[in-house]
Amino acid sequence: MDITAIKIRKILDCGRLRGIVSVTIDDAFAVHDIKIVQGDRRLFVAMPSRRDENGEYRDIVHPMTAEVRDEMEKQILLAFEQERSRSGYQQ
């Protein structure tokens, strides 16, 4: 599996939500509304989710292994930081 495109759709500078990203995998599958969130210690990636009937949020799509999640997060955060620097956003 290769991430063939990462599009930074929105950059925010207030609150915990820092950005919205779309990812294309193998030039064949797109995942929209991936969130970049400011955690207590670092930025992290949150997969698209929806609220279920019990009021809990559940991922709509997600990586199947920790290794894939780590690699996706690494690439997404790198692209996000590059775009933020290019557009002049401060951390």
Q: Please write the tens of the pLDDT for every residue from 55-71.
A: 999 999 999 999 999 99
pLDDT tens per residue, range 26-46:
999 999 999 999 999 999 999
Nearest to 8 by CA among 89, 79, 91: 79
Among the listed ranges 18-32, 33-47, 77-91, which one has the minimum average pLDDT value? 77-91
Please give the structure tokens belonging to residue 90.
């401060």
Give the helix/strand (H/E) hosting 79. Answer: helix 66-86
Query: Are 49 and 32 spatial neighbours (Cβ–Cβ below 8 Å)?
Result: no
Gap between the Cα atoms of 63 and 66, Å rounded? 7
Architecture in CATH of 3-47+57-86: 2-Layer Sandwich (3.30)
Annotated domain spans of the chain: 3-47+57-86
